[in-house]
Amino acid sequence: MHLRDGLQTHATVRQRYDHLVETGAIGRDPAQERIAGALDRVTDEISAKRLAHKSSALGWLFARKRETHEAVKGLYIHGGVGRGKTMLMDMFFELLPVRRKRRVHFNDFMADVQDRIQKHRQARKNGDVKEDDPIPPVAKALAEQAWVLCFDEFSVTDIADAMILSRLFSALFANGVVLIATSNVAPQDLYRDGLNRQLFLPFIGILERHAQVLSLDSDKDYRLEKLARTPVYVTPADAVADRTLDEAWRTMTRGAPTAATALTLKGRQVLVPAAAGDAARFSFADLCEKPLGARDFLAIAGRFSTVFIDHVPVLGEGKRNEAKRFILLIDTLYDHHLRLVVSADAPPQELYVAKRGVEVFEFERTASRLIEMQSRDWLEDWAERRKERAPSAAAPLARAVPSS
């Protein structure tokens, strides 16, 4: 806490950023400083709005009259992978003095919206509600839960989402919602070449009216530098390895909430025990001791760009089926050029100890690929591909698995 204009107020993103620079945790970057200042502007305006609501009854009345004309303008921050967007969003969300705030991956948010719309339509069919249009009540309910929405990885690939965004966000903004979003692309490039894109274009205008658009145009990929120092194949798979992979997970998924999800595939589900953004984490047992096959591994590779696998055991004659699945899994992740982080009981060349069978020769390729996927060249190529990669509209949609 510090004093500003005689009033005690929040710490700032810029202060937190300067502290990281002074302690050597990061290097100073003018583009990041500019974003930090913009985030502090939003925080100040949000704090002023809250103060108006908490003032005297007469002041609250006047604030109600002004608020529709003085809505807080949010931010849309775009830039390449590893430019520091998530780091800055971390600081903003943590320091924002608001209780009703929500931070979520944009695809997960839209999955929630579509579920709510479907439930409203069913309720209308049952006669439980009278309103035909589900958008206004859905937007109102979302705004009541959180009036500051922070989106990671804002992207639009699904036509069902694209067709409702203009009306949905018009209703959200009318309910006083403030939007903070990060994205790899500028607003004008959202849903590029998408089906019926002309119906989506009004949303871009709505977005630009309610959010200041800023480019984080740094040339340095900070995440890549940090990832290059992160172990990606740890052996043996003991408690130390668990802690190492936990730290690597935090590095990769910084700022994104972790939750179990499921990929819907041909009427069934592939469970993902832990997912955050475009990273997923499994144990060897989750992937190779269950009856999964090529389609399942393709679904995982199509949805995520990074996969963690914990506790890969040494495989022998009694584990031929598990070895076959592991060979297929690594081939799939390799072919899709995913980032792989593994804890294993032995180095790649010593993971398969059987002396006969076709798997002996196939595993030689697997070991070679596991070694290649640890290299700096692989990481740099992965980072370049990830910049260009957007979730496919045809890819299975990840849904959060309700906690029991």
Q: Would you say 221 and 80 are in contact if contact means Cβ atoms under 8 Å apart? A: yes
Is residue 65 pLDDT above 50, yes or no? no
Q: What is the pLDDT of residues 335-379, one digit of tens each?
A: 999 999 999 999 999 999 988 878 888 899 999 999 988 887 788
Is residue 400 pLDDT above 50, yes or no? no
**Tokens encoding 51:** 């103060």
Is residue 200 pLDDT above 60, yes or no? yes
Q: Would you say 297 and 288 are in contact if contact means Cβ atoms under 8 Å apart? A: no
Fold of 222-400: Rossmann fold (3.40.50)
Q: What is the pLDDT of residues 225-269, one digit of tens each?
A: 555 667 889 999 999 999 999 988 988 887 578 999 999 887 788
Q: What is the pLDDT of residues 76-91, one digit of tens each?
A: 999 877 778 888 998 9
pLDDT score recorded for residue 77: 93
CA atoms of 44 and 302, how far apart (whole Å): 40
CA atoms of 338 and 334, how far apart (whole Å): 6
pLDDT score recorded for residue 380: 76
Higher pLDDT, 397 or 214: 214
Strand order in the sheet with 211-215: 101-105, 148-152, 178-183, 74-78, 211-215
Compute φ and ψ for 310, nearest 5 degrees.
-95, 145
pLDDT score recorded for residue 327: 94
> Would the CATH topology of 2-215 be identical to that of 222-400?
yes
Where in the chain are the domains? 2-215, 222-400
In sequence order, what DSSP letters do the residues of 136-183 get, joined into one string?
A: HHHHHHHHHH-SEEEEES-----HHHHHHHHHHHHHHHHTT-EEEEEE
Please state, rounded to an integer, the average pLDDT across all residues of the chain: 83
% pLDDT > 70, the chain: 83
Q: Point out the least confidently predicted range of 24-28, 122-126, 236-240, 394-398.
A: 394-398
Is residue 67 pLDDT above 80, yes or no? no
Calculate mean pLDDT across residues 131-150.
92
Q: How confident is the model at residue 388 (pLDDT cuts 50, 70, 90)?
A: low
Q: How confident is the model at residue 57 (pLDDT cuts 50, 70, 90)?
A: very low
Q: What is the pLDDT of residues 281-328, one digit of tens each?
A: 999 999 999 999 999 999 999 899 899 999 999 998 889 899 999 999
Measured in whole angstroms, the distance separating CA 375 from the mean position of its chain's CA atoms is 25
Radius of gyration of the chain (CA): 24
Range 2-215 has CATH code 2.60.40.1730: no
